[in-house]
Amino acid sequence: MVLKRIWLVTIFITVLAMSGAACSAVLPSPSATTKPTLTNESPPPLPPPSEATDTAAPLSTPLATEIPSCNLNDEVLAQLDEIEDQVVILRGLQPIHPVEFDLLTPDELRQQVIDDFLADYTQEEAVNDALVLALLGLLEPDFDLWNFYVDLYSEQVAGYYDDETEQMAVICGTDFGGPERITYAHEYTHSLQDQTYDLEDGLGYSAERCEVDSQRCAAIQALVEGDATLLEGQWMRTYATEEDWADLREFAASYESPVLESAPHFLQQDLLFPYTAGYGFVHALYLNGGWAAVDDVYLDPPLSTEQILHPERYPADTPIWLEVPDLNVALGDEWREIDRNVLGEWYTQLTLNEHLPNEVAVEGAEGWGGDYYLAFYNNQTDQGAMVLVTQWDAMHDVHEFYAAFRDYGDSRFGERKTSSAYEATWLGEAGYVLIERLSNQTLWILAPDTETGRALRQAMLFPARQQ
C-alpha cells in the first residue's frame, strides 16, 4: 500500500532520540577516562516531530551544501575501522567482506533518493497508493505522495545501507562528528545483518516479496531496524566520546524537520514504526536471551506487525490467510482494481486513530488475526471503492473492533442510517458505508453509492474462508 521496500536507513530524529539530545536541554557527558557499561535500559523515547523541531535554525544549517563537506581522509577512515571493530564486539556478528562506503552531501542524497531510492516506485504507483490511503481516510486523494517521499527522505535520511548493492553511505557536513559516527554504527550493523543472514534471499526482504505481502515486509524491516537501533544505543553508551556528545548537542540545537512536521499524522507514525516498535520487539528478545535470542529470530522471522507490536505473541500467533474473491465482474468494466493486500494490525490502528483517541484505536485493532483488502477506482467518475474483511482472534476482539468502528464511522461519515448489534450503515457525502460482523470476522465496504455497495456485498462470500 505504501512504500515499504526502502533502503535500511538511519533517520535524523532517531539519532537525536537515541542520544537523548531531543529529550533534554543538556546531555550528560561520559567521563573521558570511564566509558559507561552496557545496561538493559531503554533509550529515550522518540519525540513527536513537533517536539524534536523546537529550534531556531533550519535543518540545512548543520549539513549545508554550500559549506565544503567532509571527505574520506585518513583520519575518517581510521574512525570507520574503529567503529566497525566496536560494532563487531557489541553485536557479535563477524564480517565476511568489507563494505563499500561513501560520504554524501544533502544534495547528493536527494539525487540518490530520486535515482535509486524511488527507482522502482513509479508516479502511477504513488497515485494509486494515495487513492487507497484516501479510501482509508488517511490522505486526501490528490496528495502528491511521490514528491512527498522525495522531500521526506531527502530531509530525514542520515545514512543508509542498500542490501541490493551492499553499499553504505552517511550524510556528512563539515566534519565527521558525533551524528555521523552514530549513524555509521547503525548502518554497519545492517551490513553485518546482511552478510550473516542475507536479507534479500535469506529473509525474503525484496521488492517482489514486499509487494505481495506488505505485512511480512513491515515486520522484517522492524526486526532489522530494531536490531540496529538497540545496537546504536549500546554503542552510544559504551564508545561515544565527549566530543561525540558535544557534536550531538550542537546538532540538536539547530535541528529542524519541516517536511516531517508538516506530514499527515499517520505518515509521521509510520516512518517511526520500524524504529520504535522494532526496538520494542528486539529489546524484549534481548532481555530474555541477549543477542543470541535476537539472532534466532533471523532464522524464523516475524510475519506480521501484530507480532512486532506484541513480542509475546511471536512466533506462535501467525497471520491467517483468507480467500480473496474476484469482484471486478460485480463492478463492471469501468472499474479497475488498484490494489490488493493485507492491512494488518498496525494500519488498522492507524486508520482508527484518525478519528478515535489513541487508546481506543489500539484496543480496537488488537486481536487482529488476518485480513485482506481490495481497492478499486473508476476513472470515468473519479470515484473509489474498497472492501476489507478482517478475522479476529476471539469474539471479544471482534466486538471491540465493531464498537470502535461504529464510533469511527460516526466521526468520519456522519449520522448512521441503520444500526444494530451486527450491522451499521452510513450514507452521505462519502458515499455508502457498511460495517458488518459475523462470527469472528468483520466486513467493511466503502462505495460511492448504495447500488455499488450492494453489488459488492452480493458478490462476496462472507464470512470469508481461510486458505
Quick one: pLDDT at residue 164? 86
Tell me the C-alpha distance between 212 and 405, whole Å: 27
Higher pLDDT, 59 or 138: 138
Quick one: pLDDT at residue 410? 98
- The CATH code belonging to domain 328-459 is 3.40.1000
Flag whether pLDDT at 64 surpasses 60. Answer: no
Quick one: pLDDT at residue 66? 41
Q: Which residue has the cell 513509479?
A: 122
Residues 376 and 388 sit within 8 Å (Cβ to Cβ): no
At 212, list the grid cell: 505481495
The string of pLDDT tens digits covering residues 404-457 is: 999 999 999 999 999 999 999 999 999 999 999 999 999 999 999 999 999 999
Flag whether pLDDT at 224 surpasses 60. Answer: yes
Q: How are strands ordered across the β-sheet holding 423-428?
A: 335-341, 368-378, 383-392, 441-447, 431-438, 423-428, 416-419
389 DSSP β-pair partners: 372, 443
DSSP count for the chain of H helices, then E strands: 18, 11
Flag whether pLDDT at 70 surpasses 50. Answer: yes
Quick one: pLDDT at residue 40? 41
Flag whether pLDDT at 240 surpasses 90. Answer: yes
188-to-28, 91, 410, 439, 440 alpha-carbon distances in Å: 26, 11, 48, 48, 45
Q: Name the band, by pLDDT with cuts 50, 70 and 90, for residue 2.
A: low
The string of pLDDT tens digits covering residues 146-187 is: 999 999 989 999 999 998 889 999 998 778 999 999 999 999
Quick one: pLDDT at residue 18? 63
Residue 360: its H or E element = helix 358-365
The string of pLDDT tens digits covering residues 106-124 is: 889 889 888 887 888 889 9
- What are the boundaries of each domain within the chain? 8-305, 328-459
pLDDT, mean of residues 86-94? 98
The string of pLDDT tens digits covering residues 140-154 is: 999 999 999 999 989
